[in-house]
Amino acid sequence: MFTSIELCAGAGGQALGLEKAGFEHLCLVENDHHACETLRLNRKHWLVLEEDLRKFDAREFRGVDLVAGGVPCPPFSAAGKQLGAQDERNLFDEALRIVEEASPKAVMLENVRGLLDDKFTEYRNSITLKLEELGYSSEWKLLNASDFGVPQLRPRVILVAMKTEYFPHFSWPEEEPNSAPTVGEALYDLVAKNGWPHAKKWMLKANKIAPTLVGGSKKHGGPDLGPTRAKKAWKELNVNGHLVQYDSPTQDFIGKEGFEHMPYLSLRMAARIQGFPDSWEFFGKKTHSYRQIGNAFPPPVAHAVGKEIFRALSFNPDMYMQESKVAETSKQFEMA
């Protein structure tokens, strides 16, 4: 098992996926209290550091195998002002500081698709250059969660960097289009669990994958499925996106005028749309819980990338050098 430290861990989506891929987390850094309590609730043995990433000193973890995390997305999100490096919430520089302090074999950072916009080309290149100075080769890749069995599109940009002796052995995980269930298939049992008689009809209408789950911003008023465009997309799947509920529709649920027989998502439904296992609990009331879910990185995607990082790290450069020397000696012997 390889070791890792997790930055901006949130509710643990990436950490959970990497754990499944074989990584043992030495610590997880997160400044949101409710998210920290979620991590502690689900993994009592994890060392959760509830602090600002800017104050985190990674030197005691020097030699860790992997530094991973999901630094804040708003600086690069198309839904915001896209201030990038000028946004006070941008923590890429802090992540690079931590990489320099910890000197891991590998790095994995995720962010929103907007980071690949042309306006951020120079900034991405500066990150790549800094990693090169620290001895890493790196690559950016856009992955859709739906290609890894998650029932929503959710495009995310992943940066993987590795010490130069390991990077040639890394490959991006194979994408599997059409592998994700529809919203109806993924949520039918939850929608039906309280005896709602229209669950079967609802499932047949919710016959596509979900739009990207949004609504996790601390500046957002409350737990719903996002702005008008997002709510419209959910309505096409027979879901009322104006609220998120604690539980599934009751037996006598009808829905509001204009949304007849359109249930709300419950917290558990939203978590399943993100790829969390049903056993993963979220600490806090509805708004705090939904923010954790809405901001999460789907565990199945983290698992898929993590497996490939694990495989690349399993390469033994010392053994490779020994085998190369043996091969060279044999070649010289044959020539003689």
Please identify every residue annotated as catalytic. 73
The DSSP annotation for 280-323 comes to: ----SSHHHHHHHHHTPPPHHHHHHHHHHHHHHHT--HHHHHHH
* CA separation for the pair 260, 271 (Å, rounded): 24
Taking the alpha carbons at both ends of the chain, their separation in whole angstroms is 44
> What are the residues whose beta carbons fall under 8 Å from the beta carbon of 60, sequence distance 6 or more?
none
For residue 306, give every residue at least 6 positions away whose Cβ sits within 8 Å of its Cβ, in sequence order, or none: 17, 18, 20, 21, 22, 23, 68, 108
CB-based burial label for 330 (10 Å; 0-12, 13-18, 19+): exposed
* Distance between CA atoms of residues 66 and 2, nearest Å: 8
Report the alpha-carbon distance of residue 316 to residue 71 in Å, rounded.
Answer: 30
Q: Residue 106: name the closest of 25, 4, 7 by CA.
A: 4
Q: Which of 273, 43, 232 is nearest to 150 (CA)?
A: 273
Structural tokens at position 127: 């990150």
CA distances from 336 to 97, 322, 329, 330, 332 (A): 52, 21, 11, 10, 6
Length of the chain: 336
Q: Find the radius of gyration of the CA atoms of the chain.
A: 22
Nearest to 16 by CA among 34, 209, 35, 32: 35
